[in-house]
Chains A and B, each alone.
Chain A
Amino acid sequence: MYADYAYLIVALPVLAFLLCLFVGWHLPRGGGFLTVLATFAGLILSLGIFSEIYPDKIIHQSMPWFANFNVGILIDPLALVMLLMVTFVVTLIHTYANGYMNGDPGSARYFAEAALFTASMLGLIYADNLIQLFIFWELVGLCSYLLIGFWYRKPSAAAAAKKAFLTTRVGDVFFLAAIILLYNNLAGLNLALKPGEYLLQFPVIYAHITQIAPDQLTLIALGLLGGAVGKSGQFPLHVWLPDAMEGPTTVSAMIHAATMVTAGVYLVARMFPLFYAAPYGLTAVAAVGAFTALFAATMGLTSFDIKRVLAFSTVSQLGFMMAGLGVGAAVGTVAVGVSIFHLIGHSFFKALLFLGAGSVIHAVNTNDMREMGGVGKYMKWTMYTMLIGSLSLAGFPLFTGFFSKDEIIVIAYEYGTLINFLPYIFLVLAAVLTAIYTFRMWFSVFTGKERSDYGKHESPMVMIGPLVILAIFAFGFGYVAQNGFYSYLDSNFEHYDVDFVELGIIGGHVLEGEHGAAAEGEQGAAAEQAATAEGEAGAEEGPGEPWYIQILPIIIAIGGILTAALFYWDKVKKFDPSQVTGDKDPIRKMLLKGYYQHEIMTGWFAETVVYGTALICNMIDIKLVDGWLNWLSAWVMGFAQHVRKVQTGVVQNYVTALVLGVVVLVVVITLAIEVGLV
């Protein structure tokens, strides 16, 4: 019954968008309650759908659109958990925004754009084909542009919005190329599609991956990865994410927790069979993810802007998710469950941290941690909820982040034993740094004594409420949901006609489950069982690790927190802002500058490569393209200068020409008749 109204999950926020946009001016608080209600209705619908289809059904509705394309809704376990997470987290963020944006003259515009943002993300999640996904993907990009540049009168905000838009656009070009390539390959197969099936529908794609040439698969996978890298802020396209902090904090929370950056990870998870079958597909994902995780974590260590610390942390955690998917080369579909579990858990504690940071900024009126200190004395609620979020992010035992992140590290270890230890090493180092920078932030904001004269008051209940709810989830979600979640997501690809053993052979993967099947010597018949068994085998791998691998994450988390305490906890060591402001230390300076990537991009790269290319293009344009055209038009002009003399303005000349013409015609026709041509 709920399934029939699945389209409302997107339609209601769109309605809220239109209402806020056109009549929001006349509503209290810019019509923010409409946006909250629309998203909350989506949450209710998602819960209803969950109760209907859990644990073993999927919803697939579709109708023709044009030519070979359709519009449709596909809710499988993967989409369902994402729907639940997005509607839940975004409802809380919108509620919080009602307090946070109160009094802003543009609040109607904010809530309209936020509603459209939510709608696009939800549409992206349950799209049943790549074209529809791409459309919503672009809408998400557009809304992020609008929201990051919400305070567009501020030049830095306008620049950040532009940067976000252009950077993600680079990835989107790859994504579009991958879609075109995939479509061409599928169309080239001349498939006999049943009525209601369309080429770019996910079930159809899954079913025919094996028929596409492996090198084409690799190209498609890399293109899709390019899109995901842009959207999910992976190296080297992560540069827009920290700058995206220019928007209101609620926007940051939405972008970083629920709506935008998870889209890239979701895309890779959604196309996991294709990545799995593509040689090097998952290797590239693992490499990008693991590198980004460490790379961003180092930058998070030095930033003084509380929101930038969180932004780098997001980039790093997204790296974890990507790496989690990438190591699926060794562990199979279980990687999807592990990675998406971290995505969901991360969205809870990252939304919590951002909203908490927003609460602090709301009171303190600065983003700079050097000017805070001792905020905890005045903001108890914010301090303790932030503590839960930080513990979760750091991976402290029994918190959500502990279960989700450490499972990624464990499967990375398995990947290491089978293929390559590099991702594992990178991820472990990143996890250490995560614990350190998280508590560096927490200690330097909430403990110690005030380092400047800031506003000392707790935020209103409409802001504290969502924090508390998110804190409960950031604490308990991992422990409660872990096992059920993995097995539920493992079943995701069982709903489709896709055989992971066969895909693994194309992709050249060695699988635990495959060994088992081969040993039994029943390859043909056992292949299907192996595909289903391999997930369970992967899930059961966990306890098989050496004890020190099991213990390591706990040591990492506690060790990291203690290290941070050593340097930043007031009770241990007096915090001296003057000590950290200097950029004499070259390493600190490099990290602060984000490895000079901005300088390289806008300085060296822009001035030599881009400017040089621009000069050459300009020359070609002027000399060749315009030149040819100008020569042609000049020739026409010159010719016309002569020919125009025919127009003498003397009537007699015209008459003479007319008569002569008639005479010529008569002569010609007469001759023709005489000769017998006519």
Chain B
Amino acid sequence: MIPLELYILLASTMFTIGLYGLVTQKNGVKLMMCIELLLNSANINLVAFSAYQPNVNGQVFALFSIALAAAEAGVGFAILIALYRLYGTIDLDNINAMRW
């Protein structure tokens, strides 16, 4: 059986990559992908701990989380499309109407 540490390492790596992308990238779609990475790293943790517990609760929770991520992605892309129609770009540097 694969040791738990490896799962956690994988999840941490994914989370860090996602966070890095979130902070550095400008493109809206890339940001969406980074957010998916964050969510899925958390899901990996949930499932891994659940398998080692052993307790099925974590896996059920991961399922919920996936459904949530799907919904979030749907809303997020809808917003991006709306933004694109309005500004003709999804480069977030140019979309700053809400700043001071």
Q: List residues of chain A with CB within 8 A of the CB of B5.
A: none
Known: A650-B93, A651-B92. A659 touches B19 (CB 8 A): yes
- Interface residue count on the A side (C-beta < 8 Å): 12
CA–CA, A650 and B25, complex, Å:
11
Q: Which residue of A lies closest to B97 (CB)?
A: A649
Q: List residues of chain A with CB within 8 A of the CB of B19.
A: 655, 659
B85 within 8 A of partner (CB): no
**Quick check: B99 and A656 within 8 Å, CB to CB?**
no
**Quick check: B100 and A651 within 8 Å, CB to CB?**
no
Q: Which residue of B lies closest to A644 (CB)?
A: B100
Q: Mark A582-595, 1 if CB is under 8 A from B, else 0.
A: 00000000000000
Q: Which residue of A lies closest to B95 (CB)?
A: A649
CA–CA, A655 and B97, complex, Å:
18
CA–CA, A652 and B19, complex, Å:
10
* Residue from the list A649, A652, A659 in contact with B99, Cβ < 8 A: A649
CA–CA, A111 and B22, complex, Å:
81
CA–CA, A648 and B95, complex, Å:
11
A647 within 8 A of partner (CB): yes
CA–CA, A639 and B99, complex, Å:
17
B24 within 8 A of partner (CB): yes
B23 within 8 A of partner (CB): yes
Q: List residues of chain B with CB within 8 A of the CB of A647.
A: 98-100
Q: Mark B60-100, 1 if CB is under 8 A from A, else 0.
A: 00000000000000000000000000000000110111111
CA–CA, A645 and B24, complex, Å:
21
A468 to B: closest C-beta gap in Å: 87
B1-33 contacts to A, CB under 8 A, are 19, 22-26, 31
A654 to B: closest C-beta gap in Å: 10
Q: List residues of chain A with CB within 8 A of the CB of B100.
A: 644-649
CA–CA, A646 and B98, complex, Å:
12
B50 to A: closest C-beta gap in Å: 24
A449 to B: closest C-beta gap in Å: 91
**Quick check: B96 and A650 within 8 Å, CB to CB?**
yes
B91 to A: closest C-beta gap in Å: 11
**Quick check: A652 and B96 within 8 Å, CB to CB?**
no
Q: List residues of chain B with CB within 8 A of the CB of A648.
A: 96, 99-100
Q: Mark A637-678, 1 if CB is under 8 A from B, else 0.
A: 000000011111111100110010000000000000000000
Q: List residues of chain A with CB within 8 A of the CB of B93.
A: 650
**Quick check: A656 and B23 within 8 Å, CB to CB?**
yes
**Quick check: B96 and A649 within 8 Å, CB to CB?**
yes
CA–CA, A649 and B95, complex, Å:
8
A346-371 contacts to B, CB under 8 A, are none
B17 to A: closest C-beta gap in Å: 14
* Residue from the list A645, A649, A652 in contact with B22, Cβ < 8 A: A652
CA–CA, A656 and B23, complex, Å:
6
CA–CA, A97 and B24, complex, Å:
91
**Quick check: B99 and A655 within 8 Å, CB to CB?**
no
CA–CA, A576 and B93, complex, Å:
100
A50-107 contacts to B, CB under 8 A, are none
A645 to B: closest C-beta gap in Å: 6
CA–CA, A650 and B92, complex, Å:
7
Q: List residues of chain B with CB within 8 A of the CB of A644.
A: 100
**Quick check: B92 and A655 within 8 Å, CB to CB?**
no
B26 to A: closest C-beta gap in Å: 8
**Quick check: A649 and B24 within 8 Å, CB to CB?**
no
CA–CA, A205 and B93, complex, Å:
81
Q: List residues of chain B with CB within 8 A of the CB of A659.
A: 19, 23
* Residue from the list A646, A649, A652 in contact with B23, Cβ < 8 A: A652
**Quick check: B99 and A650 within 8 Å, CB to CB?**
yes
B51 to A: closest C-beta gap in Å: 26
A6 to B: closest C-beta gap in Å: 72
**Quick check: A655 and B23 within 8 Å, CB to CB?**
yes
CA–CA, A645 and B23, complex, Å:
19
CA–CA, A647 and B96, complex, Å:
10
A535 to B: closest C-beta gap in Å: 85
A59 to B: closest C-beta gap in Å: 75
A90 to B: closest C-beta gap in Å: 72
Q: List residues of chain A with CB within 8 A of the CB of B24.
A: 652
Q: List residues of chain A with CB within 8 A of the CB of B96.
A: 648-650
CA–CA, A649 and B93, complex, Å:
8
CA–CA, A646 and B99, complex, Å:
9
Q: List residues of chain B with CB within 8 A of the CB of A649.
A: 95-100
CA–CA, A1 and B100, complex, Å:
80
Q: List residues of chain B with CB within 8 A of the CB of A652.
A: 22-26, 92
A660 to B: closest C-beta gap in Å: 10
Q: List residues of chain B with CB within 8 A of the CB of A655.
A: 19, 22-23
CA–CA, A648 and B98, complex, Å:
8
CA–CA, A652 and B25, complex, Å:
8
CA–CA, A16 and B88, complex, Å:
76
Q: List residues of chain B with CB within 8 A of the CB of A651.
A: 31, 92
Q: Mark B18-62, 1 if CB is under 8 A from A, else 0.
A: 010011111000010000000000000000000000000000000
CA–CA, A646 and B24, complex, Å:
18
CA–CA, A648 and B93, complex, Å:
10
Q: List residues of chain A with CB within 8 A of the CB of B26.
A: 652
CA–CA, A655 and B22, complex, Å:
7
- Show the binding face of A for B, using Cβ within 8 Å: 644-652, 655-656, 659
Smallest CB-CB A-B distances: 7 pairs? A649-B99, A649-B96, A644-B100, A647-B100, A655-B22, A649-B98, A648-B99
- Show the binding face of B for A, using Cβ within 8 Å: 19, 22-26, 31, 92-93, 95-100
**Additional 18 contacts, C-beta under 8 A, given A648-B96, A649-B99:** A644-B100, A645-B100, A646-B100, A647-B99, A647-B100, A648-B99, A649-B95, A649-B96, A649-B97, A650-B93, A650-B96, A650-B99, A652-B23, A652-B25, A652-B92, A655-B23, A656-B23, A659-B19
- Chosen A-B contacts, 21 in total, with CB atoms closer than 8 Å, are A644-B100, A645-B100, A646-B100, A647-B100, A648-B99, A648-B100, A649-B95, A649-B97, A649-B99, A650-B92, A650-B93, A650-B96, A650-B99, A651-B31, A651-B92, A652-B25, A652-B26, A655-B22, A656-B23, A659-B19, A659-B23
